[in-house]
Amino acid sequence: MVETKIWQVDRTERHLENNPMIIEAAEILRQNDVVAFPTETVYGLGGNAKSDEAIQRIYTAKGRPSDNPLIVHVASKDQVDAICTDITPLARKLMNAFWPGPLTLVLPKRGDISTRVTAGLSTVAVRMPNDPIARAIISVANLPIAAPSANLSGKPSPTLAKHVIEDLNGKIAGIVDGGATGVGVESTVLDCTTTPFTILRPGGISKEQLIDVVGLVSDDPALTRTDQTPKAPGMKYKHYAPKALMYMVPKGKETIQALVNHDKEHGQRVGVLTTDENVHRYLNADVVISCGERAQLSTVAHQLYQTLREFDEANVDVIYSETFPDEGIGQAIMNRLSKAAAGRIIE
């Protein structure tokens, strides 16, 4: 166990680079230790992307498989040129359109990034976060920062500092508490070394938004395969999972209610993941939690991981989840639900 420092920082504060808590967190990163901090997507666990020692500390704290690559976070486009090579005009067009923001680009890497970051691949995943706290820490540290989600591997990603504390207190050097994150699901990961560019992980920037900027993009079939080295986080292992068995139920309300009734008769404690529009419909379930408005899927994305953690707190045995349109931000929501349910679906 180590002492984990917790700093509370107001992201609306001007000149965050001068905040002594930001400076202290950045100095810890420069010493090759690890610190959790908010981004606009989820909380990240940051470490010096050039340091094998720092990256090993990330893997150890999370219990994360070392063949699962990490995303490198930068504070400026100049840092990208220092760690990537052969950046195409189309890739730069995406940077100009969506950075800072929840888009990660997979690009050919230069040699000074730790091979533990890239899982031995010749590419590196890189993004510029839109959260002012994240960018201030990276800027003051003056390092590229590798930062997967700041949770124990396999658990729902953290959208509040309290989630990081629950998972990693005593395992990391510090946690910067900047309040709730915004998007709520991780960044979109786009492989820019293929023709056309390929979505490796759907996220905060939709496929439709990418097409508007660069034309055709494809979905990587490896999103549903586990027999190869992943090129991006979230491709290979079970992710985002609550403690209870979880099932997706595309047929909706009547089928879910029948499943609830059946499991209740057999002594199970049952949860239902739904939306504001349907939260009143599941009368017999032990725990019914809305993760947002079906009419506004950004609210579902924002609250999804918090909802999964609430089911853990409620100690349910099984969770039945409604499903969502697989387009726009819905593609990211369905990707995360599928992984949380380990692909279990009741047709």
* Residues making up the binding site for ATP: 64, 123, 149, 157, 201, 240
Q: At what angle do helices 89-98 and 207-214 cross, to 10 degrees?
A: 130
50 to each of 75, 80, 109, 110, how far by Cα in Å?
15, 13, 12, 11
The angle that helices 132-141 and 20-30 make with each other, rounded to 10 degrees, is 50
Q: CA-CA distance, 176 to 178, in Å (whole number)?
A: 6
Q: In what order do the strands lie in the sheet with 287-290?
A: 245-248, 318-321, 270-274, 287-290
Binding residues for L-threonine: 41, 68, 73, 127, 147, 187
Which amino acid type is present at position 272?
V
Q: If we measure between CA atoms, which residue out of 56, 223, 258 comes closest to residue 146?
A: 56
In angstroms, the CA 273 to CA 149 distance is: 23
The H-or-E segment that residue 81 falls in is helix 77-83
Q: From the annotation, which residues make up the binding site?
A: 41, 64, 68, 73, 123, 127, 147, 149, 157, 187, 201, 240
Q: Do residues 72 and 162 lie in contact, with contact meaning Cβ atoms separated by under 8 Å?
A: no
Distances (CA, A) of 91 to 113, 126, 190, 210, 342: 20, 12, 10, 11, 33
Pair 126, 188: CB distance under 8 Å: no
DSSP result, 96-155: HHH-SSSEEEEEEB-TTS-HHHHTT-SEEEEE----HHHHHHHHHHTS-EE--BSS-TTS
Q: Is 102:40 a contact under the CB 8 Å cutoff?
A: yes
Contact 259, 272 (CB under 8 A): no
CB-based contact 102:204 (threshold 8 Å):
yes
Tokens representing 34?
């690890």
